[in-house]
Amino acid sequence: MNLTELAQGEKAHVRDFSAVSKIVQRRLVQLGVKENEEICLKRKLPFGGPCMIETCGLCISIRLDEAMRIEVRK
């Protein structure tokens, strides 16, 4: 399943995020996102807006289409 399929406030572990576009991927790595790391979907904004995720005690916002490319497992 991908990150956006989680319920709001639900936690999961990152399985694979190599499909995310290169620049965003690099930034995510810098911010501490990596495989097997716990990730929480905090909020999705309306009208297909960006979503807010939390990982390693840090809140990050990315677009919905990028979040869909992050595979997670519960």
Partner 1 sequence: MMHAQQIALIGNPNTGKTSLFNSLTGSYEYVGNWSGVTVEKKVGIIKKQLGELIDLPGIYTISPISKDEGVVTDFLLQDSFTDILNIVDASQLKRNLQLTVQLLELGKPMVIGLNMTDVAKLRGIKIDYQCLSSSLGIPVMPIVARTGKGCKDLINYFKENEKKTIHPLTLDYGPVVESAIGRITSLLTAYNVQHKRWMALQILEGNNRILSQIKGFSHLQELEQICSQTESELLNKNIAQTLQQHIHHIREAYIDSLLNSSVSISKQSMPTLTDQVDRIVTHKLLGIPIFLGLMFLMFMLTFDWLGFPLSDLLDAFFTGPLTDAIESFLQVIGASAFIEALVLNGIVSGVGGVLVFIPQIFILFFFLSLLEDSGYMARVAVVMDRLMEGIGLNGKAFIPLIIGFGCNVPGVMAARTIEQPKERMLTIMLTPFMSCSARLPVYALFVGAFFAKYQALVVLSLYLLGIFVALIVAKVMSSTTYKNEKSLFIMELPPYRLPQVRTLWRSTWEKGKGFIRKAGTYIFGGSVLIWFLSYAGPSGFAVDMNDSFLALIGGLIAPILIPLGFGTWQAAASLLTGFLAKEVVVATMSIIYFVPEAQLQGFMVEQFSPLSAYGFMVFVLLYVPCLATVAVIKKESHSKKWMFLSIAYGLSIAYILVLIIYQVGKLVGLA
Give me the residues that bind partner 1 (CB under 8 A), please.
18, 21, 23-24, 26-32, 34, 42-43, 45-50, 52, 56-63, 66
Helices H / strands E in the chain, number of each: 2, 5
Q: CB of residue 9 vs partner 1: minimum separation in angstroms?
A: 10
Q: CB of residue 39 vs partner 1: minimum separation in angstroms?
A: 14
Helix or strand (DSSP H, E) at 55: strand 51-55
Nearest to 33 by CA among 18, 49, 44: 18
Q: CB of residue 74 vs partner 1: minimum separation in angstroms?
A: 19
